[in-house]
Amino acid sequence: MSELLLNHLGGQWRPGTGAGTALFDPVLGHELVRVDATGLDLPAGFAFAREQGGAALRALTYRQRADMLGAIVKLLQANRDAYFEIATANSGTVKNDSAVDIDGAIYTLGIYAKLGAALGEQRFLLDGEPAALAKDGAFQSQHLQLPVRGLALFINAFNFPAWGLWEKAAPALLSGVPVVVKPATATAWLTQRMVKDVVDAGILPAGALSVVCGSSAGLLDTLQPFDVLSFTGSADTAALLRRHPAVAERSVRVNIEADSINSALLLEGEAPGSAAFELLVKEVVREMTVKSGQKCTAIRRVFVPQALYAATAEAVSARLAKTSVGNPRNETVRMGALVSRAQRAAVQQGLQALKAQTEVLHDGAAHALVDADPAVACCVGPSLLGTRDAAGSDAAGRVHDSEVFGPVATLVPYRDAAHALQLVRRGEGSLVASLYGSDDAALADAALELADCHGRVHVVSPAAGAVHSGHGNVMPQSLHGGPGRAGGGEELGGLRALNFYHRRAAVQAAPGVLARWARG
**Distance, CA of 422 to CA of 443 (rounded, Å):** 16
Mind listing the pLDDT tens digit for each residue in 285-312? 999 999 999 999 999 999 999 999 999 9
Mind listing the pLDDT tens digit for each residue in 305-342? 999 999 999 999 999 999 999 999 999 999 999 999 99
**Distance, CA of 204 to CA of 210 (rounded, Å):** 11
Burial of 519: CB neighbours in 10 Å, binned 0-12, 13-18, 19+: exposed
Taken in order of first residue, the domains within the chain and their CATH numbers are 46-258+492-519 (3.40.605.10), 262-476 (3.40.309.10)
Known active-site residue 296: yes
**Distance, CA of 173 to CA of 209 (rounded, Å):** 9
Strands 502-509 and 140-147, bridge-based pairing? antiparallel
Question: Choosing from 167, 213, 287, 296, which is the catalytic residue?
Answer: 296
Q: What is the pLDDT of residue 203?
A: 98
Instruction: Estimate to the nearest angstrom the gap between the alpha carbon of 478 and the chain centroid.
Output: 13
**Contact indicator for 173, 56 with CB cutoff of 8 Å:** no
Q: Which parts of 202-289 fold into alpha helices (H)?
A: 235-243, 245-248, 275-289
Question: Choosing from 257, 270, 283, 490, which is the catalytic residue?
Answer: 257
DSSP 335: B
**Distance, CA of 213 to CA of 192 (rounded, Å):** 8
**Distance, CA of 12 to CA of 254 (rounded, Å):** 27
Mean pLDDT per block of 10 residues along the chain (520 residues) reads 92 94 96 96 98 98 98 98 98 97 98 97 94 94 97 96 98 98 97 98 98 94 97 92 96 95 98 98 98 97 98 98 97 96 96 97 97 96 95 92 96 98 97 98 98 98 96 97 96 97 97 82
Known active-site residue 213: no
Strand partners, 456: 432
Q: What is the pLDDT of residue 520?
A: 46
**Residues in Cβ contact with 129 at an 8 Å cutoff, skipping those fewer than 6 apart:** none
**Contact indicator for 35, 185 with CB cutoff of 8 Å:** yes
